Structure 1
């Protein structure tokens, strides 16, 4: 019966040649921390999987497994880095709410407009509110109030002029 020496297991070979495997990966990929992580991943793989039988050169196999693991990890990291680099910088979010000074100014204008409308004669006020606030067409305002279209136009002119005067604005669109 021929003598067959006991061959070392892959895990024991990895433990004995740990520094050599780390240096092997580091030479190819340049980063010692990266190389350690790769060799640790190989160790975990060996612990999780069933040992291969009839391995003639365990160190060579471990170098090959470490190299393949490093390539896979490197490509994965490059893909994730490329994805992060391709993402556009988030734009500074513009708050849709007006600034506090603008809110104060708008509230003041609304108060002045409310005062101006409340000081209009009753019929003029009704025409103005129906058309400008409730957005009814002039013809519908005339029909609802039983007045002519010309009278609606006259009341609107008076209402707009009163609002401009109350806001101290020159003639033009309100």
Structure 2
């Protein structure tokens, strides 16, 4: 019985090939893809181990061909990269810092934090206001009730302290 179904489907595909090709071309948007899908449909129907009872051979064959076309489209999108494409991807430089540079940067940041912690509170507040908040010397002087000259002196002393601290604590 199954062999009879297979032969019936293959005969229907052969007799109605032009009609199936036209309908499938409209469905897929490409006559070439439709022709290839019908060719593979012929092969699948001829090779499948078990076939269901088919009431409408035309609809069955169109659905099988549409599934074949979908499988082909998925295969095309999953294509493997060529060796030259792989080489080009491997040649893209990594812009991330090297691990030793990251460690060195973290160590320097820890030294700077220690240097800032060692500053007197007022000097640290003046440096933070100037460098982090972006306040002018006059604004800092007004905020703390000191002279502009004192602000400049404190910033200079804080920067000297941090510079010496960073050089002295370098491994």
Using structure 2 for the length normalisation, give the TM-score.
0.46
Task: Find the structure with the greater CA-based Rg.
Answer: 1
- Which structure has greater helix proportion? 2
TM (normalized to structure 1)?
0.46
